[in-house]
Amino acid sequence: MAQWPDTPYRVGISGWRYPPWRKVYYPEGLPQRAELEYASNRLNSIELNGSFYALQRPSSYQRWYDETPDGFVFSVKGPRFVTHVKRLADVDAPLANFFASGVLALGNKLGPVLWQLPPNFQFDADRCAAFFAQLPRTTRAAAEVAKGHDERMKDRALLEAKVDIPLRHAIEVRHDSFKTRKFVELAREHDIAVVCADTAGKWPMFEDVTAGFAYVRLHGAEELYVSGYDDKSLARWARKIRSCKCDTYVYFDNDVKVHAPYDAERLAARLGIESAATEG
């Protein structure tokens, strides 16, 4: 069975189900159901983004766990109902529903949870601080939060953690009002990683390390979601990532022209990430 070696660097893609990738990144004839297995043997992490749009099911998380090699890690995008609809306030039940939806089935393959705020969300120190304080910091604590789920999760909730491990959180902001030391200091106080997001200049980019890990999202060097990263750009990002001197999660989101998986593989090689080994 394949296994990824230990490394402080996790480099991958945001999602893996993209029709334009078929017969390009994914070999011709590869069944859609095998795409995760294929990608997870070439990259050591993937950012789950379906969880942003809708609550998933425990059976789905369990299947994703089973289809990926040992040592592989998923980051999970928190639901937009929390970030975009509720805007981080009055989220006891939505948080409980999210953590009850099966996230804990990922066990030791569960990496950080990403909370992405909408572009019209302005910095509100009190609201952010209250939200940060609500977030569970271990999988066991997340299981306790999950027990507060509402009726929509009846008969489909997972309320136990496979393992008790630390649970990390990252926040991606998209409004200029967050460009203040107060926000950075608040995130550092709560051990929340502020995402370093390359958005071709459209939204703010932070390079502050505010937690015990760093989180990087690369949306496109020149055009959002479309343009790729050349060798010079990838060399620069590799230097930035090494300078963090901590565990770092990096995800390419420039998926439109199939740059993301290839850019991720090239950056992983620059960071010395070895391919998943096969036992036996």
Give the number of domains in the chain. 1
Round to whole Å and give the CA distance between 254 and 223: 9
- Alpha helix stretches (DSSP H) within the chain: 35-40, 50-53, 58-66, 80, 92-100, 125-134, 139-146, 181-189, 231-244, 259-270
Q: What is the pLDDT along the chain (280 residues), one digit of tens a residue?
A: 589 999 999 999 999 999 999 999 999 999 999 999 999 999 999 999 999 999 999 999 999 999 999 999 999 999 999 999 999 999 999 999 999 999 999 999 999 999 999 999 999 999 999 999 999 999 999 999 999 999 999 999 999 999 999 999 999 999 999 999 999 999 999 999 999 999 989 999 999 999 999 999 999 988 888 999 999 999 999 999 999 999 999 999 999 899 999 999 999 999 999 877 654 3
CATH number at residue 72: 3.20.20.410
Range of the domain at 56: 2-278
| Token couple for 186 | 């608040």
β pairing state of 247-252 and 9-14: parallel
Give the pTM.
Answer: 0.96
